């Protein structure tokens, strides 16, 4: 799977787990809700590392914790 898909799934899973909305996440990140919507709908070709850090911070986790998921295992990712 593409990295964008893995990130979108990870965010979606965390939103469900934490019982928060995309709007709440965007508020925590101090960004526009459309940014989260575009990430979840995989409308970006790439995601800035800075954005990943902001997402992790919004979930009160480190970037290492955010990426510590089977979605991000090398064998699960399509990297050219």
What's the pLDDT tens digit per position in 28-68?
999 999 999 999 999 998 899 999 999 999 999 999 999 99
What's the pLDDT tens digit per position in 7-20?
999 999 999 999 99
Q: Within a domain: residue 56? A: yes
Asked whether residue 80 carries a pLDDT value surpassing 80, the answer given is no
* Number of domain units in the chain: 1
Contacts within 8 Å (CB) and 24+ apart, 35-40? 36/11, 39/4, 39/7, 39/8, 39/11, 40/8, 40/11, 40/12
Q: In whole angstroms, what separates CA 5 from the centre of its chain?
A: 9
What's the confidence (pLDDT) of residue 13?
98
CATH of the domain at 15: 1.10.260.40
What's the confidence (pLDDT) of residue 45?
86
Q: Within a domain: residue 31? A: yes
């Amino acid at each position: 799977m593409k990295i964008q898909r893995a990130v979108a799934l990870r965010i979606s899973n965390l939103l469900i787990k934490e019982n928060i909305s995309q709007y709440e996440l965007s508020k925590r990140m101090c960004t526009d809700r459309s940014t989260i919507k575009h990430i979840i709908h995989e409308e970006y070709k790439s995601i800035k590392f800075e954005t990943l850090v902001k997402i992790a911070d919004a979930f009160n986790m480190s970037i290492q914790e955010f990426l510590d998921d089977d979605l991000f295992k090398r064998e699960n990712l399509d990297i050219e």
